[in-house]
Amino acid sequence: MPETTPRPSPEEFPQPISVLIVDDHPVVRNGLRGMFDASPDFTVVGEAGNGPDGVRAAVELEPDVVLMDLRMLGGDGVAAITEITARRLRSRVLVLTTYDTDVDTIPAIEAGATGYLLKDAARDDLFAAVRAAAAGETVLSPAVAQRLVRRVRAPGEALSEREQLVLELVAAGTSNRDIAARLFVSEATVKSHLAHVFDKLGVRDRASAVAAGYERGLLGRR
């Protein structure tokens, strides 16, 4: 990551902290703006509804912290974080999203995000995270931190032969019913295999499992 100017601690950071909100849902942006505007410690300097607009706003406004959603229509958050990092902007990026799978967290952090918080965070936790991010400190929600620790300690528990086959069939667009018929098992057994696959890959749905499979080299080799 590029070198940046040393930041003061959260307690010493000058007030108010300027914030740019990047989210494709107007209701979310309005809610966050209202929350921050109600505190004298923060000032919302702008909003954007997608990644490219978020980058342009960050360049123009140079906020202390960019609150960045990840999955947005019109341009995703990871690409925006990558661009902000490449431009060596002074702004720190704090991801604020509903997704906490490896497919989301790892690319965002690798792209240069200072922190990663989930949208179910309490207001005080969000405020504390923004203060810490403004000071250049790494901020991770407990769920994300636990997931990253598990990933470091056990870098990808191997899929069994049957789980690998199920993943390949899912990647081919095969339904649970057809997978069951092909493997001569019940649909309940297929769902059980899928649950194990999701757990080992750190994902929650079929699409994310396929994406993680390609990312980890489990698919596309045959």
pLDDT band per the 50, 70, 90 thresholds, residue 156: low
| Averaged pLDDT for residues 180-190 | 92
User: Three-state SS string across 162-177, please?
Assistant: HHHHHHHHHHCCCCHH
According to the model, what pLDDT value does residue 101 have? 76
Give the pLDDT confidence score for residue 218 in this predicted structure: 87
Q: Is a pLDDT exceeding 50 seen at residue 161?
A: yes
* Residue appearing with tokens 């407990």: 142
What domains sit in the chain, N to C, each tagged with a CATH number? Answer: 17-151 (3.40.50.2300), 161-215 (1.10.10.10)
Average pLDDT over the chain reads: 87
Cα(17)–Cα(21) distance, rounded to whole angstroms?
A: 13
Average pLDDT over residues 24-33: 96
State the average pLDDT over residues 189-206: 89
Rounded to the nearest 10 degrees, the angle between the axes of helix 51-61 and helix 77-86 is 30
| pLDDT number for residue 201 | 86
Predicted pLDDT at 100: 78
What is the bridge-based pairing of β-strands 65-68 and 92-97? Answer: parallel
Question: Would you say the C-alpha torsion 52, 58, 61, 67 has a positive or negative sign?
Answer: positive
Q: 10 Å Cβ neighbour count for 10? A: 18
Amino acid, res. 4: T
Does the model's pTM come out above 0.75?
Answer: no
Alpha helices in the chain (DSSP H): 26-37, 51-61, 77-86, 102-111, 123-134, 142-153, 161-171, 176-183, 187-201, 206-215
Examine the pLDDT at 182 and tell me if it is beyond 80. Answer: yes
